[in-house]
Amino acid sequence: DAGVTQSPTHLIKTRGQHVTLRCSPISGHKSVSWYQQVLGQGPQFIFQYYEKEERGRGNFPDRFSARQFPNYSSELNVNALLLGDSALYLCASSWGQGNTEAFFGQGTRLTVV
């Protein structure tokens, strides 16, 4: 079975641009969460989606948005990119009931120049 897949793996954008990151969860998993990990830090929670509805949001500005599709895949969108948005963006999927373990993808490395 395929694990969590994220695309693209690497991305370079210019300040002010917009970016869309994609995530496909493990087959059968209905919950997707997004995390931002800046260099040298632990991942920080951005969003959580379950059954296409937002179920949790971390302390991130409105420039960050996400959605989940009927097939449970998800997109993370970031508008008006800042240099500080440079980070590894991780997607995690879980089955969805209670606090089951989350399985992470390899992430998208975003560099804003």
Q: Does 68 bind other proteins (CB under 8 A)?
A: no
Pick between residue 18 and residue 51 the one whose CB is nearest to other proteins. 51
Give the torsion through C-alpha atoms of 68, 71, 73, 76, to 10 deg.
-30
Using rule CB under 8 A, residue 36 touches other proteins = no
Is residue 4 within 8 Å of residue 104, measured between CB atoms? yes
* Shortest Å, Cβ 81 to other proteins: 20
- CB under 8 A: which stretch of 15-23, 54-62, 74-82 binds other proteins? 54-62
Neighbours of 50 (CB within 10 A): 18
In the numeric block, the tokens 């373990």 are attached to 101
Query: Which position among 19, 23, 94, 112 is part of the footprint of other proteins (CB under 8 A)?
Result: 94
